Amino acid sequence: MTGRELYAVTFAIILVGAVVIALTWIVGPSVAPVQLPSYVWSAIGFCVLGLLLIALQRVIAPAPYAISARAAIVGVLAGSMLYAGAMHLLL
């Protein structure tokens, strides 16, 4: 399996997981997996979206044009945590 195929599979797995979670949340709101504040769910959504975009970037852009995967993942996680912390302080 080439690196490009691996990132395509990663993108597909994260996308399917996000769709399943979204459908669970829409179809059964009273059966939500965990009752968390809305800003935490938003931060989780931004994190999943960021991880999807990292995988998509690896498929579309060749390696010389992309930043390292480790740096991108750390950036997405740090940004999501900063967002959740800032929203917690604002609300």
**Looking at the predicted structure, is the pLDDT value of residue 32 above 60?**
no
pLDDT in tens, 68-77: 778 888 888 8
* 3-state helix, strand and coil shares in percent for the chain, rounded to the nearest 5: 85, 0, 15
pTM above 0.85, yes or no: no
**Do residues 84 and 40 touch, judged by C-beta distance below 8 A?**
yes
Phi, psi of 36 (to 5 degrees): -120, 160
Closest-CA residue to 59 (of 4, 21, 3): 4
Q: For the segment 35-90, what is each residue's pLDDT rounded down to a tens digit?
A: 777 788 788 888 888 888 777 777 777 667 667 778 888 888 898 899 989 988 88
- 8 Å CB contact between 48 and 18: yes
